[in-house]
């Protein structure tokens, strides 16, 4: 846990109000704590350095926070990029990530995507045998510097959230190792392709316990050992073990930690860390979630059925998973007054609602908080990943501005614009405004 994180956040909330980042006319803004992001990157690299001397590429899962300045910050902290679409690859390249520190994963890569990645020398993990056949043709047609691998599904079970469990019996990802004949087919695929040198698995995500993650990695390691034994040489030289460290959304505590996971891997799969294999990780949520905060003004308050309700400008457009699956994706709510000071007073059970036109647009239902008033500031922490960077355009609500912040030793807060707020003109342009007569000609 970073003991200064909440202190920095409180200073940033007050400064955001004082500097006009959050106003009645601009009632929604997102903040990123750059010191916290750097601390998470250091914790990740240090955790693996403590258990292995092997070469490790920590590749940030761009889908967790697809913002170019964030990717540049992480690159500056020694973190690469894992991309899963042409758009994410473009973001990584715009941030200056070199091909040697970029990994392409996706269950639906087109021939053009594969051809482009191989031309650049980006590492590619094929998802299935059909994709492997496409790679056969591409590798035969032109030389490439791309390290190539295959994703496997160890089929070891689900965590607490079905939709984010990637190693179930029927997962859409990778080749299912326990299906009849699948393991033998994977081994033969490697023996037939000397250029296939990586093995990839990704078991973890939110709700998946560390022990299950480690078991998935062990399954991939044992398969690599089998392939290399049958090949009579160390053909598989790199294991991509994915990411998926769960995030604690219930408190300030950062648990579990990267060190916890690295030590568990050392105990569960010691051969993985003895230096024979290079490693790739693909953490996303755990690097960013704790370091993002949404700020929104309370526009109105009301009472319905005896329940106080605070209506804000943050809802489904930002916290989409929370609104549609609140039990699986709960978020904390912090109350501040209109000047950005922590709100005090009698705690009252109340709802915190978003602006979208459907009844379920709630950030929190029945939450005990100091009674909110119009003009107050609601802060939603732990939203640095899969939240304000992934806009859901319900009601054509605009994307909020995103600002990074740093706090000097004297408590002074400095802000840097990461992404400007979306304008009405930009919303119109995205909605075909330049083609208004297209259907009436």
Burial label for 68, CB within 10 Å (0-12, 13-18, 19+), is middle
Residue whose pair of structure tokens reads 């695929």 in the numeric block: 189
**How far apart (Å, rounded) are the C-alpha atoms in residues 397 and 400?**
9
- Phi, psi of 187, deg, nearest 5: -60, -45
Helices H, strands E: what count in the chain? Answer: 12, 18
Does the annotation mark 357 as catalytic?
yes
Q: For helices 258-268 and 210-231, what crossing angle results, to 10°?
A: 40
The residue annotated as part of the active site, out of 140, 142, 357, 408, is 357
**How far apart (Å, rounded) are the C-alpha atoms in residues 309 and 371?**
9
DSSP H stretches of helix in 50-121:
68-76, 86-94, 111-120
Contact by Cβ (8 Å): 239, 280: yes
Helix (H, G, I), strand (E, B) or coil at 197: strand
Query: Among 111, 119, 146, which Cα is nearest to 238's?
Result: 146
Dihedral over Cα of 94, 380, 164, 226: its sign: positive
Contact by Cβ (8 Å): 63, 284: yes
**How far apart (Å, rounded) are the C-alpha atoms in residues 175 and 129?**
8
**How far apart (Å, rounded) are the C-alpha atoms in residues 83 and 169?**
25
- What tokens appear for 157 in the block? 């079970």
Strand 196-200 with 175-176, pairing: unpaired
Contact by Cβ (8 Å): 292, 32: yes
State the catalytic residues. 357
């Amino acid at each position: 846990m970073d003991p200064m994180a909440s202190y920095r956040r409180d200073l940033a909330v007050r400064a955001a109000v004082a500097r006009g980042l959050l106003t009645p006319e601009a009632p929604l803004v997102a903040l990123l704590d750059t010191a916290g992001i750097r601390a998470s990157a250091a914790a990740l690299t240090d955790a693996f350095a403590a258990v292995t001397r092997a070469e490790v590429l920590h590749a940030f899962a761009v889908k967790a926070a697809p913002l170019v300045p964030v990717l540049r910050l992480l690159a500056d902290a020694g973190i690469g990029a894992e991309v899963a679409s042409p758009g994410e690859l473009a973001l990584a390249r715009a941030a200056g990530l070199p091909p040697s520190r970029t990994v392409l994963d996706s269950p639906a890569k087109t021939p053009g995507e594969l051809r482009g990645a191989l031309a650049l020398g980006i590492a590619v993990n094929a998802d299935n045998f059909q994709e492997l056949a496409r790679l056969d043709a591409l590798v035969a047609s032109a030389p490439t510097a791309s390290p190539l691998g295959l994703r496997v599904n160890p089929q070891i079970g689900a965590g607490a959230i079905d939709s984010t469990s990637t190693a179930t019996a029927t997962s859409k990802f990778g080749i299912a190792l326990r299906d009849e004949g699948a393991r033998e087919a994977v081994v033969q695929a490697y023996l037939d392709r000397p250029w296939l040198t990586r093995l990839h698995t990704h078991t973890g995500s939110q709700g998946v316990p560390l022990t299950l993650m480690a078991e998935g990695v062990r399954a991939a390691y044992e398969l690599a050992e089998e392939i290399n034994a049958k090949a009579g040489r160390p053909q598989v030289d790199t294991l991509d073990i994915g990411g998926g460290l769960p995030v604690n959304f219930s408190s300030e505590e950062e648990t579990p930690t990267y060190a916890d996971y690295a030590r568990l891997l050392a105990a569960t799969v010691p051969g993985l860390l003895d230096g024979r294999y290079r490693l790739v990780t693909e953490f996303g949520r755990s690097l960013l979630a704790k370091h993002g905060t949404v700020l929104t003004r309370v526009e109105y308050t009301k009472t319905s059925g005896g329940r106080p309700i605070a209506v804000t400008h943050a809802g489904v457009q930002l916290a989409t998973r929370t609104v549609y699956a609140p039990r699986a994706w709960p978020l904390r709510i912090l109350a501040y007054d209109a000047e950005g000071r922590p709100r005090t007073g009698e705690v009252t059970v109340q709802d915190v609602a978003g602006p979208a036109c459907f009844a379920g647009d709630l950030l929190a239902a029945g939450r005990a908080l100091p009674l909110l008033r119009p003009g107050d500031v609601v802060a939603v922490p732990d939203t640095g990943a899969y939240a304000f960077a992934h806009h859901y355009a319900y009601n054509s609500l605009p994307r909020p501005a995103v600002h990074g912040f740093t706090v000097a030793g004297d408590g002074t807060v400095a802000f840097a614009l990461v992404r400007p707020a979306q304008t009405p003109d930009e919303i119109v342009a995205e909605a075909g405004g330049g083609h208004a007569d297209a259907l009436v000609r």
